[in-house]
Amino acid sequence: MFSKGVDDKLEHKFVIGSITYAIRGRDILRNNGFKARVERKTSEYKSGCGYAVVFEGDLETAERILKNANIKITKTI
């Protein structure tokens, strides 16, 4: 898992299967109070379509929110 900062300022990445779902995931997390953005593929991850939702905050809460919204997470970094 990639992280920086302390406490709730940890930065995490969820690799998502398509750009459409990555954008939806970003918007869902933002609507739930997370600071989130979509990032294009880097050498850090190679699976999926090449996009990740990058966010700050609690990893387990964010994962639960996206799973409840039927956003499939390919990999967590």
Contacts of 37 (CB under 8 A, 6+ apart): 26, 53, 54, 55
Q: For residues 5 and 70, which has the higher predicted lDDT (pLDDT)? A: 70
Do the beta carbons of residue 71 and residue 24 sit within 8 Å?
Answer: yes
> How is residue 2 annotated by DSSP?
-
Residue 2 lies in a domain: no
CATH code, domain with 69: 3.30.70
pLDDT band at 66 (very low <50, low <70, confident <90, very high): very high
Residue 64 lies in a domain: yes
Distance CA 65, CA 8 (A): 16
Rounded to 5 degrees, what angle do the CA atoms 58, 54, 62 make? 30
- The number of domains in the chain is 1
Taking only the tens place, the pLDDT of each residue in 6-57 is 445 779 999 998 999 999 999 999 999 999 999 987 665 555 468 999 999 9
How large is the average pLDDT for residues 70-75? 94
Residue 72 lies in a domain: yes
Range of the domain at 28: 7-76
Q: What per-residue confidence (pLDDT) applies to 77?
A: 86
> How is residue 7 annotated by DSSP?
G
72 pLDDT exceeds 60? Answer: yes
